[in-house]
Amino acid sequence: MPSDFPGAERLTIGFAHAAYRLGDCFAARKTGIRFFEVRTFDDLKARAGEADVLVLSGLWRNELIALAGRLRFVQSVSAGVDQYDKAAFGAHGMRLASAQGANERAVSEHAIALILAMARMIPGARDNQARRLWRPMISDPAVREDEMGGKTLLIVGLGRIGQRLAHLAKAFDMRVIGTRRDPSAGAGAADAVHATADLPQLLPEADIVALTCPLTTETENIVNARSLALMKKGAVLVNVARGRCVDEDALVAALESGALAGAALDCTRIEPLPADSKLWSFANVLITPHTAGETRRYEVNVIDLLQDNLGRLWRGEAGLRNQIV
């Protein structure tokens, strides 16, 4: 089928990301395709009308649809696509592809780093270093550093990132159980896979609960007062998914009561995390600023996806790589 997608000579691509150097990476490929690059939402609003293609993630707002009259395709820079109104994309004949896979290694490695940091008490060591304090050994075994072998890791969202995390955790001899929307899609490296609805039965078994799921109506607030109450006393929560997967008031209450031993959070409901959030003040909370996906290869991975999808659009192929709409 011939494609009515604008040819390379007529195409304008808009790169819109606060930090990533997508424009430099694209320019280095010498395609001759026109592009612009912006770093703020205001600049994006001003130039959205020029773009046939946008490459962006956190700077997307659904109000851009009204401003971007030529827009035909959005290549998301993020693996998660919760910020896009898919029905509106369909209604406006716009296509959308995620960056799933671009950060699979980075996010799973970040999750295992957070798990190890919590078990080996690395954040406290760093705090002590800042105070030039050589902490004495701990006599109470209950609050000492721990080891991972034989511990149960529950992965909520056994997709590509979750399966890679399962693979890494098996190297530490952990028992790994997981949930996914469609358990028939397989357990990957995990020992067992269950439906998301089975979470209440699984939570009491877990020493560590790691969220690697997309944000959907099913996973919004999946960690709430009820699920926290089902977790083992002394369990640890790790969130490399989305802040809205967790009811933060319930999390703060579980940390204050000591029901949870700690939490490692790469994402929060409001980002940046407001200065007055209680989460900043817990010694047993480790926060990273939504950096789990960051990698030195990110631009290359995204531009590879973009070029693959532009090729498919020009050839009039029905399917995109990582197609969402």
Single out the residue of 25, 44, 53, 79 in contact with ligand GLV (rule: CB under 6 A): 79
Q: How far is the CB of 188 from ligand GLV (least distance, A)?
A: 20
User: Does 205 qualify as catalytic in the annotation?
Assistant: no
- Closest to ligand GLV by CB, 158 or 260: 158
Residue pair 50/43 in contact (Cβ under 8 Å)? The answer is no
Amino acid in the structure at residue 297: R
User: Does 95 qualify as catalytic in the annotation?
Assistant: no
Q: Does 103 bind ligand GLV (CB under 6 A)?
A: yes
Q: Does 75 bind ligand GLV (CB under 6 A)?
A: no
Instruction: Scan for tokens 């090729």, then name that residue.
Output: 311
- Closest to ligand GLV by CB, 103 or 227: 103
- Comparing C-alpha atoms, which of 282, 272, 280 is closest to residue 243? 272
- Closest to ligand GLV by CB, 52 or 266: 266
d(CA 118, CA 23): 37
d(CA 186, CA 101): 18
- Closest to ligand GLV by CB, 175 or 293: 293
Q: How far is the CB of 15 from ligand GLV (least distance, A)?
A: 16
Element (H, E) at 122: helix 122-130
d(CA 177, CA 194): 8
Three-state SS letters, 73-112: EEEECCCCCCCCCHHHHHHCCCEEECCCCCCHHHHHHHHH
Dihedral of CA 98/13/85/277: which sign?
positive
Which segment (28-36, 73-81, 86-94, 166-174) binds ligand GLV by CB under 6 A? 73-81
Which segment (40-48, 75-83, 125-133, 203-211) binds ligand GLV by CB under 6 A? 75-83
The 27-66 contact track toward ligand GLV, x by CB under 6 A, reads ----------------------------------------
**Residue 200 preceded by cis peptide, ω within 30:** no
Q: How many CB atoms lie within 10 A of CB 201?
A: 10
* Residue 179, strand partner residues: 156, 194
Q: How far is the CB of 99 from ligand GLV (least distance, A)?
A: 6
- Closest to ligand GLV by CB, 72 or 242: 242
**C-alpha distance across the termini of the chain, in Å:** 19
185-244: which residues touch ligand GLV (CB under 6 A)?
none
* Site size with ligand GLV, rule: CB under 6 A: 6
Residue 97 token pair:
């592809």
Q: Does 80 bind ligand GLV (CB under 6 A)?
A: yes
112-171: which residues touch ligand GLV (CB under 6 A)?
none
User: Does 70 qualify as catalytic in the annotation?
Assistant: no
Q: Which of 242, 248, 269, 312 is the catalytic position?
A: 242
Chain-centroid distance of CA 289 in Å reads 11
Catalytic residues: 242, 271, 290
List interacting residues with ligand GLV (CB under 6 A).
Answer: 78-80, 99, 103, 293
